[in-house]
Structure 1
Amino acid sequence: NGDRETKKTDYQFFTVEVLRKYNLNSPSKSRLDDWVYYQTKQNPKLKDFLSERGLCFLSDWALLNRARPTQFEQLLPRDRNILEAFHGVYRRDRRQQPGKKARRCPDPTQAQLEEMSHLLQEKSVIVNSLVQLRDELKHLARVLRRYDIWIRSGFPPSESLEVSDSDTGRNRELPDQNFTNTLDAIARQELQQFCSQQLIACLDLGIEQGLTDRITKLERSRSYARFASKVISGLELIYCHGKSQAEIASILGMTNQSQVSRVLNPKDLLNRVRFWTIDKLFHIISHAAHQFNLANMSRDPDYFRNLMEHLEAFVDAEVFQEAAAEIMTGKKCSTNSLYTQRLCRYLEKAKQENHD
């Protein structure tokens, strides 16, 4: 302003904080460059920022070891069984370690892999070798990394076609995410057309199931059960009428914007709708496998995984990348995205049925 007054701010520059905390006369006698390195490496906000962009500081085995129940829900049955076997052996052994645990999770031992293989055999999950089991565990770690990026950033992750192998240091190709490269040109085109034809129906079913999940979760909550009946109206106000959370709090009788966010949670709803849309599309295509010459390919142990990765890439490109961008930028009133259009259609229909 004209008086050129300096105003205080709550923002603290990281570099200033590092220098402020540095004690030249500390007993450790650490050098300034060592101190800066340590503070930078341990900064939680920097870690979160890098994690959102795909740089995770955890090893494959640490990611698998810490996998949560919500991550299990996103996996195929075979992958879920493999992860459960890993937890049954590797996590058990980690917890039984005497004294202070090691900072890093070591590679699973031969004995641990053999025990996991036996557990999988008991569940009729066929693993031809310990090398294959190790490879599948590493694949699961990549899946969990992608899931973490999606949850943290709200955007479906993207990966390059090559990554550096942590064991050899050489570049290796990722599993083909397009999957259709293994099909002939005609079958590839037919599969793409079939996915496009089924997408709207699967998205509508995904929206219905995702909303059911959201409402059921609230109904089981001691704190928020009374708001379960307001989910449909609240989401309609956001997506179809462009109301702010402050306005919605006033209309629906909620305490504040934070309560609106916790009750409606558009980001969590989007994740559930995405999961169910892919699930519905996967089952429809699996039942129609003979149409696309997929019957023989289904004997390949990687068939279902490759098909799922193809479908994830397809629905993200067609629906969820744009929907996630709307949430991140706060453009709730936009009806440009296919997700918003179909969600509003469902919400308006549900509201009419409730009034009848």
Structure 2
Amino acid sequence: MSHTILLNKRPVGRPELSDFKTITEDQPTINSGEILLKTSYVSVDPYLRGRMSDAKSYAEPFELNKPMVSGVIAEIVESQNEKFKVGQFVSGMLAWKQFQKSSGEGLRVVDTSEVGESVYLGALGMTGMTAFLGLTEIGKPKKGETIIISGAAGAVGSIVGQIGKILGCRVVGIAGSDEKVNMLKSQFGFDEGINYNTTENMAEAIKKACPDGVDVYFDNVGGEISDAVLYSINRFARMIICGAISSYNETETVKGLSVQPFLVKNSALMQGFILGNYAEKFPEATSQLLEWFKEGKIKSEETVVEGFENIPQAFIDLFDGKNKGKMVVKA
């Protein structure tokens, strides 16, 4: 038998466990050209919240009473496809199922001989590529510049900061606890950190942490934190809009500062992106990230939740900031 997690209903505001439903199915049997996959690790990510709503976005919404889908590392337990061997691990966008069959399309074999499986969902997967390509393609940081990152203790933010240090920049991270701020500095080499939950005036705190102003802002959060960064941006600053987790569960339109005066006054760039924009650069990004990882220049922090049945709760916990680094579920 195999368990599958479905989208039961569309969330209103913050997701709840009742928005999901777990069913039991027969383990699938494979035919010629197919492989049978056993889920090993599942990635939970804030962007999945958008796909749970029936609203226009860069990806089609999830269908009600159909399986949720995200990044998954799975083991091949049966194969009738000559391109894939039993015992190999593959990475791809797969359903939240304990067992599923596939033609192999869209999957890539990952080498787990030197690197743990789950790292291919984080530093060496979509997370790492999002950090690398967003920072280098839009931010174009130069040695000596200042980079500030919101959601810095999260999956993408922690990698962005480490890449910024590799490239010779001053790196400042914004996170939600003193523990996370200390982690940014002691573990990931950030130069400074700001705890937004204990800071009364974010604009002043950012100015103090970035005495030479902000050249690159990597935004994972949006909202009031991003408004505060605007007061410190330098001429020709580049602002990379990766996510806006602060507003994902809002039921009304979020109001904030008008960014146009800040952009005009500083000849600044603000650009949103999705990873798929840079698909042709995936091999280059993967190769560079793997090199840095093996050299110890990039460290992977993970929050690992045990148990396939706990995938929905792990996803919900993202919105309470319960993760340090990448949140994954070990099935």
Flag the structure with higher helix content.
1
**TM-score, scaled relative to structure 2:** 0.25
**TM-score, scaled relative to structure 1:** 0.24
Greater Cα radius of gyration, structure 1 or 2: 1
